[in-house]
Chains A and B, each alone.
Chain A
């Protein structure tokens, strides 16, 4: 029985048992899952040994969902129900998405985020992404032989709050515990940094299927400090395919294309682009459903010419990031290339020319993000205690508030290191005003209409005062995932309003829990069993954490404080073997509460220790 308990998935019975955690690169074109095994970060392949999972989902009328290569095979025959590059739609409204007329989908303009009508009903990009994540989760749990403790999911550094929130929702909908959202270039730097033990300032040039990111990082003694990041969240390898596709259309005289033929020619364009990475010339050949034939020769110089505008478009954010970091190309010690699109020789030439050095390509540009995410997941899951790795990331776009005349007042500037918080004071503009509404936006432009609207909320119950007398403090807090929450408080009366900034499509925690339970299609008993097990896992985790904190630092506590914590621990130990998940939760909360002051003391002590250690080191040198 005891043996069985140790093997219970998700339970960390032994303190140093390896916790199963993965890094997931949820890409526009392909997705990957990786984990750290015996100290090495490895990508987990499917049963056929293929590491990539095409980010393609196909819905059928029978409720069946196909993901990956199997869906890829249907993209030309069933284009309306086979969704490719869904990442481009994450957190986006219909009007935000370019080229919708070239896409075979039936879009539904839902509030906040677009949806796609399929034969299985309207699907939001969050649900479609969750289906990709579920497939990766299943692959990982099969390969690792147990339930995952958590996952690090990567996002483009240039993703805004709505796109990040959508990604996190998708992960939770797939039943994944999100340890952290990690910026893709930072993940790539981790993969490179740890393998090469590099120090200095590096640039990460990340051209994915649908997004472009550039990050400037300083690496020093295991600390990865992002100095600046920039990019274009609507520029990627897909756009190169489209240029080839448009060229092929111009060169041929075809009757108007149906959805299938559009998809066929787009797929062909991608193939041609990939072939030209390794060969100087190839042919664009396709037979359409109408019987028409396309057969055109194309060379790599022609591809370079067709797409030189796109390559140039990546250098504008690159210059901006360098300027924000206060650096010039000469200051950059190395350039890391990420994303399959960076295999194109003319991109490598352009980057080499700009930075005046040959970019680093020794890690597979398709895998490097997932490999780095896995390393971070391993650390966050607690498998590498004491390892000196620290990621200091930044927020990519400024956050602000709408003021009079539709102008934006910036509250948190772009490239601020996260977590970060900033307060801003406002006042009433009318006598006796009792409510004030706020509009939170993200972007660099001066006009609200040019920025992304994140949320609107209202502070009510302000006591009537003369105009200008109320003192309303608005606080923006961005957490380590780059997600924003905002609170407003009238300072004199203490009236408060707080929101987690969720775009209007955003799912509440309860909704996600319900969807999860519904999707599992479990009977009521199962739900209870699951809730019980989750609370027991939680209880084990907190008991373990408190026990190790007590072992290390109980000297900081007075005897009665120690006794109070021990009593709470005892109560939880007793409750957790029962069957009442609510009672266990109450005991967990009680222990949480009992350790608050202790946690603060430990934090203070660790800071003092950090500074003392440094002074000793100074004396030593």
Chain B
């Protein structure tokens, strides 16, 4: 029943692009949820309740996809017929892999020294690196239309995301 032929951008009344007015996405998301959320259908017949849950689920999924830069880029690439191959394509440029090793060493050292401030500092530095890469993804997607290049940048972002998880896990272990 649900019109899944609309892509997530169309669902929110937007043109497909990496650079988005996030405030607008948020507003559309809230406006649509206000119409379809199960809380609005607690007294409705079964059919409507089911539909409401499906729609609300779908809108949540669309919102989450567009809100996060990595998933937004991945989704846009999919619309352009490009798979980011994050699970299978692990061939990364040598200099990027070197950087990765340096990151891991730095995180490992801070972890061993139980240095929470050091981990926080690394986290901030990592955020910056991720912002740079996201800008790069945006340029490739919206301006130069270099989709294979954007896919590689997404793969790089995925590496950085794993580093972020590692830092967060280390911080959590220190707090416990």
Contacts and interface: CB of A to CB of B under 8 A. Distances in A.
Interface string B4-48: 000000001100000000000001101111111111001111111
A360 interface: no
A599 B48 contact: yes
Given A420-B60, A542-B45, A595-B45, A606 B36 contact: yes
Given A323-B168, A420-B60, A421-B57, A596 B47 contact: yes
A220 B38 CA distance: 19
Contacts of A613: 31
Nearest to A318: B175
A602 B63 CA distance: 22
A459 interface: no
Nearest to B52: A603
Contacts of B1: 596-597, 600
Nearest to A221: B30
Contacts of A611: 12-13, 28, 31-32
Contacts of B13: 611, 614-615
B114 interface: no
B55 A603 contact: yes
A593 B176 CA distance: 54
A419 B57 contact: yes
A416 B60 CA distance: 9
B134 interface: no
A210 to B, nearest CB: 21
Interface string B49-73: 0011101110011011000000000
B35 A480 contact: no
Contact of A180 (B39, B43, B48, B175): B39
Contacts of A479: 38, 53
Given A392-B33, A599-B45, A611-B13, A419 B39 contact: no
A391 B39 contact: yes
Interface in A306-344: 315-316, 319-320, 323
Give the interface SS of chain A, mostly helix, strand, loop or mixed. Answer: helix
A190 to B, nearest CB: 12
Interface stretch (A290-298, A351-359, A374-382): A374-382
B31 A417 contact: no
Contacts of B48: 545, 595, 599, 602-603
A436 interface: no
Interface string A347-388: 000000000000000000000000000001001111000001
The interface centre, meaning the residue of A376, A421, A607, A614 with most chain B CB atoms within 10 A of its CB, is A607
Contacts of A541: 43
Given A420-B57, A611-B13, A613-B31, A599 B47 contact: yes
Contacts of A376: 39
Interface in A411-430: 416-421
Interface residues of A, number: 53
Contacts of B30: 220-221, 223, 225, 390
Interface residues of B, number: 39
A493 to B, nearest CB: 23
B32 A604 contact: no
A477 interface: yes
Contacts of B52: 603
A546 interface: yes
A381 B45 contact: no
B112 interface: no
B45 A545 contact: yes
A551 interface: no
B38 A480 contact: yes
A610 B57 contact: no
A180 B49 CA distance: 13
A609 interface: yes
Contacts of B37: 390, 392, 480
B53 A417 contact: no
B64 A614 contact: no
9 contacts: A180-B39, A223-B30, A380-B43, A392-B37, A595-B47, A599-B48, A603-B55, A610-B28, A614-B28
Given A316-B176, A591-B45, 17 more contacts: A180-B42, A220-B30, A223-B33, A380-B39, A381-B42, A390-B30, A390-B33, A480-B39, A480-B56, A545-B48, A592-B47, A599-B47, A600-B1, A606-B36, A607-B32, A610-B28, A614-B13
Interface of A: 150, 179-180, 220-221, 223, 225, 315-316, 319-320, 323, 376, 379-382, 388, 390-392, 416-421, 477, 479-480, 541-542, 545-546, 591-593, 595-597, 599-600, 602-604, 606-607, 609-611, 613-615
Q: List 10 A-B pairs, minimum CB-CB distance, nearest first.
A: A610-B31, A600-B1, A480-B38, A606-B35, A596-B47, A599-B48, A380-B42, A611-B13, A419-B57, A417-B60
